């Protein structure tokens, strides 16, 4: 078992009194190497769930354990370290740091991890070749298409060899052909490297690509 | 570390227009500061130089109490030995003995109160520039003890011209009536009213005889190689005098009013410094804060990836420091060359001459850049640019990644 989620709730409080429940008791287990989609309409709690799994936000109650370590109980600077070591993120769009090239974006996470220059170089070049962007390494984000940017984001997420890659609607801003090829790439990397992928979507095509589908509705998992 | 520097630098390049405006604002601010400070310093150098060289000298030695009363009874006995001692100080250019007393100058038609000054012409030339202010005739010459030099306005009041005779009257040191006749050999025009209207200069020998002041002097006027050493050398001389009766006063104490003018100006400069710092602060704050607010999402992603808060703070601080440094370089070059150029040509203030003469300032003021003041202005601008970055830096570092990423 890689991730164990028990009775997880998240309630946002706006202006100190209006409460919006986003997750109402989620129980979920994720095995190592899964390629799982969290599906559900807008507002169903997909982003909230991924943010909690990714240690970007604090749960209201319940627990999330990585290999039996409960991350809802660790402090904020420890969480940054945990994210750095264990989790790769791909967001919906504009994932990249604008002032860094594709190569530098991929290198960035390894840099934070303190990996030596020669290894960084090699790995960044390798992974960019792997996602089909070997020739684009010196381009800045604004010099690439949306699909290419998402590929760089995937490359950046995977290069540091995290336990899990969390992707919140990674194809939402892409046309269906580009979306499909990004999903195929993710699936190939999932198989080659054995990295766990959890991604959210409300797109039927993307759901079909997933090996496992978790349906979220009004903050609850539905069977 | 290097990556954060790179991100900061590229952000400045990316927002070229905004960065350039900020850098120019910082540059012009600093240039103005350097120039204004150089101008004021130049004017002050001129003021002290003009004031001290005209008559007072850089340092004066008196018997204590003379400064306030200027009476013959308060005098320095056996002054020759003291003069040689003072002149052995390597920072001293020359020292001149003077006898100084109030009296009456009378012509056939009129009379007027005057300050009578007895001087050694050869020495006086080295200590003061009063000899150069002769408008008509010439200055005293040694050995000619019945010559006198008086102010131009005094001559008008007495209704006398060159080669006319006037009589000086006063009370001598021994209480007897002092009275002697002199022939006018030169007329002074200094532009300083109290001198032109009220001074009469005779030879030291004549003054000794007139006031019965043998082997006594009212003051020793000293000129140094550099006016900047006045306070230092005054205290050295004061100690060497080794007498509780005598004192050595630097020009700051000879003319407290001049010192006050300068201090007033220097106080005023700090207001300008403050204004420039505010301009720099607003300029940089505006640019950096805008940059941070625009890049909320990017900071969110940096944080999500595991970037530390202090690394975020560094990125923003670098950006601000870059703007500050570039602005400073431009400001330094501009301010320095502006001051240098006008330091050569001078700034023409002829239209204010009348007013300025009263402050011992000439028609042309020559800005002079001081290293110390340049270092102060530059560091203040740089420090401001760093301090100002703290607010946007903490704002960026305290963003919650979830909120920042949601806000596209
Ligand atoms: N920061 C927030 N403050 C207040 N309410 C929020 C916030 N984020 C999400 N919500 C609410 O929580 C619910 C779930 O949102 P979200 O997790 O974004 O769902 P999804 O990603 O499936 O669209 C929605 O009703 C949304 O309005
Ligand atoms: Mg969402």
Of B244, B254, B237, B253, the residue nearest B82 (C-alpha): B237
| Distance of CA A168 from the midpoint of ligand 2 (Å) | 7
Judge whether B57 lies within some domain: no
Q: Is residue B364 part of a domain?
A: yes
Same structural domain for residues B205 and B313?
no
pLDDT digits (tens, 9 = 90+) for A12-28: 998 888 999 999 999 99
Ligand 1, atom 16: closest residue by C-alpha: A45
Last residue of a domain, one of B243, B275, B294: B243
In this complex, the residue of A51, A95, A111 whose CB is nearest that of residue B301 is A95
User: Which ligand is nearest the CA of A169, by number?
Assistant: 2
pLDDT for A81: 87
Q: pLDDT for A166-180, tens place per residue?
A: 999 999 888 999 999
Q: Is the pLDDT of residue A188 over 60?
A: yes
Percent of chain A topping pLDDT 70: 100
In this predicted structure, what is the pLDDT of residue B299?
A: 93
Q: Which two tokens stand for residue B11?
A: 């952000």
| Interval A58-64 mean pLDDT | 94
Spatial CA neighbour of B58 closest among B201, B231, B195, B199: B231
The answer to whether residue B311 sits within a structural domain is yes
Q: Is residue B324 part of a domain?
A: yes
Q: How far is B301 from chain A (nearest CA, A)?
A: 7
Terminus-to-terminus CA distance in chain B, angstroms? 27
Radius of gyration of chain B (CA): 31
The pLDDT of residue B353 is: 72
Closest CB from A47, A77, A94 relative to B297: A94
Is the pLDDT reported for residue A186 higher than 80?
Answer: yes
Place A146 in a pLDDT band, splitting at 50, 70 and 90: very high
Model pLDDT for residues A100-124, shown as the tens digit of each residue: 999 999 999 999 999 999 999 999 9
The domain in which residue A103 lies consists of 35-59+76-222
Mean pLDDT of all residues belonging to chain B: 92
Q: Please give the tally of structural domains in chain B.
A: 2
Check whether residue B268 and residue B371 sit in a common domain: yes
Is the beta carbon of A201 within 6 A of some atom in ligand 1? no
Q: Is the pTM of this model over 0.80?
A: no
Q: Which residues of A touch B306 (CB under 8 A)?
A: 80-81, 83-85, 109, 112
Is residue A207's pLDDT more than 90? yes
User: Residues of chain B whose pLDDT is less than 50?
Assistant: none
Task: Tell whether B346 is covered by a domain.
Answer: yes
Element (H, E) at B23: helix B16-51
Residue-averaged pLDDT of chain A: 93
Inter-chain CB proximity B307 and A95 less than 8 Å? no
Looking at the structure of chain A, the number of domains it has is: 1
* Pocket of ligand 1 contains residue A15 by CB under 6 Å: no
Does A205 reside within a domain?
A: yes
Predicted local distance difference test score (pLDDT) of residue B1: 67
Q: Are residues B301 and B397 in the same domain?
A: yes
* B351: containing domain: 2-51+259-406
A7: left (phi over 0), alpha (psi -120 to 50) or beta: left
Q: Give the best residue of A49, A76, A79, A99 to mutate against chain B (max B CB count within 10 A).
A: A99
Q: Is residue B19 part of a domain?
A: yes
CA nearest ligand 1 atom 2, residue: A12
A48 lines ligand 1 (CB under 6 A): yes
Please indicate, yes or no, if residue B252 is contained in any of the structural domains: no
Query: Which atom of ligand 1 sits closest to the CA of residue A49?
Result: 17
Nearest of B205, B230, B112 to residue B160 by alpha carbon: B112
CATH code at position A191: 3.40.50.300
Task: Provide the angle, in degrees to the nearest 10, between the axes of the packed helices B309-345 and B2-14.
Answer: 60
How many residues would you count in chain B?
A: 408
* Burial class of residue B20 (count of CB atoms within 10 Å of its CB; 0-12, 13-18, 19+): middle
């Amino acid at each position: 078992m890689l991730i164990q989620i028990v009775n997880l709730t998240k309630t946002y409080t706006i202006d100190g009194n209006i409460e919006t429940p986003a997750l109402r008791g989620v129980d979920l287990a994720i095995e190592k190497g899964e390629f799982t989609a969290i599906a559900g309409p807008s507002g169903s709690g997909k982003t909230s769930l991924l943010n909690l799994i990714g240690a970007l936000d604090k749960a209201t109650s319940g627990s999330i354990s990585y290999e039996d370590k409960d991350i809802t109980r660790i402090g904020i600077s420890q969480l940054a370290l945990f994210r750095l070591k264990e989790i790769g993120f791909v967001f919906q769009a504009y994932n990249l740091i604008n002032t860094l090239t594709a190569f530098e974006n991929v290198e960035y996470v390894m840099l934070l991890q303190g990996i030596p220059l020669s290894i960084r170089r090699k790995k960044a070049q390798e992974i960019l070749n792997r996602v089909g962007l070997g020739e684009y390494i010196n381009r800045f984000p604004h010099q690439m298409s949306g699909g290419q940017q998402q590929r760089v984001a995937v490359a950046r997420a995977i290069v540091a060899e995290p336990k899990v890659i969390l992707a919140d609607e990674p194809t939402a801003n892409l046309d269906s052909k580009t979306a499909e090829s990004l999903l195929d790439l993710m699936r190939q990397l999932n198989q080659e490297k054995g990295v766990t992928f959890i991604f959210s979507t409300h797109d039927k095509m993307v759901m079909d690509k997933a090996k496992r589908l978790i349906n979220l509705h009004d903050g609850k998992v539905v069977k | 570390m290097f990556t954060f520097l790179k991100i900061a630098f590229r952000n400045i390049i990316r927002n070229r227009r905004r960065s350039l405006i900020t850098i120019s604002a910082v540059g012009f601010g600093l240039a103005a500061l350097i120039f204004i400070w150089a101008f004021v310093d130049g004017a002050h150098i001129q003021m002290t130089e003009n004031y001290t060289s005209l008559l007072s000298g850089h340092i004066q030695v008196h018997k204590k109490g003379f400064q306030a009363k200027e009476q013959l009874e308060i005098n320095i006995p056996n002054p020759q030995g003291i003069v040689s001692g003072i002149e052995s100080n390597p920072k001293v250019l020359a020292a001149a003995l003077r006898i100084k007393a109030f009296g009456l100058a009378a012509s056939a038609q009129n009379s007027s109160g005057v300050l009578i000054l007895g001087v050694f012409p050869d020495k006086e030339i080295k200590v003061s520039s009063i000899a150069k202010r002769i408008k008509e005739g010439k200055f005293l010459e040694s050995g000619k003890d019945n010559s006198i030099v008086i102010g131009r306005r005094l001559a008008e009041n007495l209704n006398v011209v060159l080669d006319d005779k006037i009589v000086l009257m006063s009370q001598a040191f021994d209480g007897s009536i002092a009275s002697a006749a002199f022939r006018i050999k030169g007329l002074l025009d200094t532009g300083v009213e109290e001198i032109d209207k009220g001074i009469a200069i005779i030879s030291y020998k004549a003054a000794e005889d007139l006031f019965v002041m043998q082997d006594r002097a009212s003051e020793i006027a000293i000129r140094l190689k550099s006016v900047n050493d006045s306070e230092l050398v005054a205290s050295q001389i004061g100690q060497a005098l080794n007498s509780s009766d005598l004192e050595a006063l630097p020009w700051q104490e000879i003319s407290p009013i001049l010192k006050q003018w300068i201090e007033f100006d220097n106080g005023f400069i700090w207001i300008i410094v403050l204004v420039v710092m505010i301009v720099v602060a607003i300029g940089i704050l505006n640019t950096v804060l805008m940059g941070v607010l625009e890049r909320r999402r990017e900071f969110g992603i940096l944080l999500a990836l595991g970037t530390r808060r202090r690394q975020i703070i560094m990125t923003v601080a670098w950006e601000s420091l870059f703007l500050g440094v570039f602005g400073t370089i431009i400001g330094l070059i501009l301010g320095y060359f502006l001051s240098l150029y006008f330091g050569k040509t001078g700034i023409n203030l002829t239209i204010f001459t009348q007013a300025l003469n009263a402050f011992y300032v000439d028609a042309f003021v020559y800005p002079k850049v001081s290293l110390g003041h340049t270092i102060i202005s530059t560091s203040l601008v740089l420090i401001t640019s760093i301090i100002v970055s703290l607010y946007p830096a903490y704002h960026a570092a305290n963003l919650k990644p979830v909120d920042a990423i949601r806000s596209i």
